[in-house]
Amino acid sequence: MGDSFGSAWWRGYAAQLKAIAEARRPDHLAIMPLGETLKALGKQTEVDEGVYDVPLEGIVGTVARAGDFDREFRPRNRALRDRWDRLTRTSADLPPVRLVRLSDMFFVDDGHHRVAIARARGATTIRARVRWISTVACALRCLTLADLPSKTAERMFLERVPLPDDVRLGL
């Protein structure tokens, strides 16, 4: 895979056209916004997990840049090209990206371009400082925007009918 901005942008554009042509759910390629996701799932506790390697396929959302990248971190905004090009040319060691984790879903707080470039280069993991937030409703990597209303209902049920973890998680 090439790491040029143009090839990444075109891959994202082609994926959008393919999704339209296949009449897939319109949110299939939409990046998950952390705020909306947390509102639906319900925030409980928060812990700094430190720095470790995170699987890139688990990074499906963003804290604040939903319009700039798709769910697979292909650029959607051509104005990102200059930053992308500078980062692909640098030989400096870059700091770990900052992520927020909800179960097996990760959301980028800082390092969107680094995540996008790593994915474009075919990497499988990226070094990250991770902050974990536990949620009332279960957070699964396959969640899309269309799933958030049902997750809101799940959260409301679990807030009203507390279940033991083994029952709630189906253990």
Look at residues 134, 91, 106, 103 and name the one whose alpha carbon lies nearest to residue 34: 106
pLDDT of 132 > 80? The answer is yes
Looking at residue 28, what is its pLDDT? 53
169 SS3 class: coil
**What pLDDT digit, counting tens, does each position of 48-99 carry?**
999 999 999 999 999 887 778 888 888 888 888 888 888 888 777 888 999 9
Name the nearest CA neighbour of 104 among 64, 70, 61: 61
Mean pLDDT of 159-165: 79
pTM: 0.79
Query: What are the pLDDT digits (tens) for 1-53?
Result: 567 887 787 778 777 767 665 555 555 567 889 999 999 999 999 999 999 99
Per-residue HEC secondary structure of 2-44 comes to CCCHHHHHHHHHHHHHHHHHCCCCCCCCCCEEHHHHHHHHCEE
